Amino acid sequence: MKILVTGASGMLGAATARALADRGDEVTVLQRRTAGLGLSEILGDVTDPDVVHRAVRGQQAVVHLAAKVNVTGTEADYRRVNVDGTRTLLQACRAAGVQRLVNVSSPSVAHSGSSLVGAGAGPADPQRARGPYARTKAEAELLALAADSPSLAVLAIRPHIVWGPGDTQLVGRIVARARQGRLPLFGQATALVDTTYVTNAVGALVAAVDHCAPDDVHGEALVVSNGEPRPIGEFLRSIARAGGAQLPKQHVPVAVARLAGAAAEALWSLWPGDDADPPLTRFLVEQLSTAHWFDQRRTREALDWRPAVGLDEGFAELTRTLQR
């Protein structure tokens, strides 16, 4: 199958493109900077109609991962990439006769801030989603699913907290801050949170490409996770331990952390530090202090997919990678 993967410079996009190519698919990648994957590559912005139309020409399927994911930036910045970019891609897919689109979304599109316990994939809700990333991803998912038709099957996949070797965002930051003694736990850190090892997220996306069709699975959203909820404190300690860093011990009251997150956001908007994101945000505090884990029965049935790597096996592999 001829498949375009957008956003292949990120960990999940690169791993997905490699997995598709390794099984024999003809893969093209589209991103702003070279991914060095040895695949057919088109460099450009997903919001550029000329670039996107050129990228989708002749493709049978598209896996759309390109997005603005940082936690800072104006609403317009997020909207340009996440909403306008998705709209541009949809227009190009229809014009080029692409048959399948797997739109990679996020569980945050249906998260209003309260705990999610054994939840299904609720409808994306831009009005209640928290923060500009979640709001614009919710709008993008609604646009994508509205384009589902007999000629273009669309499936939204929401991987939850993807991590693994090569992850410079979540894993890299947790380890770096743990080494610096700047990784506090919020509240008692006992809220159950489900995560997704990168190999499993890739397997789910590959399965989504295979099953996304008018006579199979289409027009819906599916949450993907390992299905192994753990206390958030245990997860953070496991990541820190894998990187050979000291384990977080300091507990900060959630209310205090929220105030600190708001202050950090305000300060970063005026004087950003070396990092693209502030060290703490209200959204981060919320994510690390409330439960969010999901019922995986519909996802596994629809995609005929199961996680291949358990959490403990994933932590062991991460340890081998970080400490070799």
Give the residue numbers marked as catalytic. 133
Q: Which residues contact 91 (CB under 8 A, 6 or more apart)?
A: 49
Q: Which residues contact 309 (CB under 8 A, 6 or more apart)?
A: 197, 199, 200, 317
Please name which of 135, 148, 293 lies closest in space to residue 212, comparing C-alpha atoms. Answer: 148
Tokens of 211: 């099953």
Q: Are 56 and 98 in contact (CB under 8 A)?
A: yes
Provide the strand spans (E) within the chain: 2-6, 26-31, 40-43, 61-64, 100-104, 116-119, 153-159, 162-163, 185-186, 192-193, 196-197, 221-224, 230-231, 251-252, 292-294
Q: What angle do CA 94, 96, 100 make, to 5 degrees?
A: 60
Q: Please state, as a whole number, how many other Cβ atoms lie within 10 Å of the Cβ of residue 57.
A: 15
CA torsion 288-291-297-303 (nearest 10°) is -20
Q: For CA atoms 84, 203, 171, 186, give the dihedral sign.
A: positive
| Cα distances (angstroms) measured from residue 227 to each of 85, 200, 309 | 31, 11, 11
Q: What angle do CA 210, 158, 19 make, to 5 degrees?
A: 45
Phi-psi region of 82 (alpha: psi -120 to 50; beta: other; left: phi over 0): alpha
Q: Are 214 and 99 in contact (CB under 8 A)?
A: no
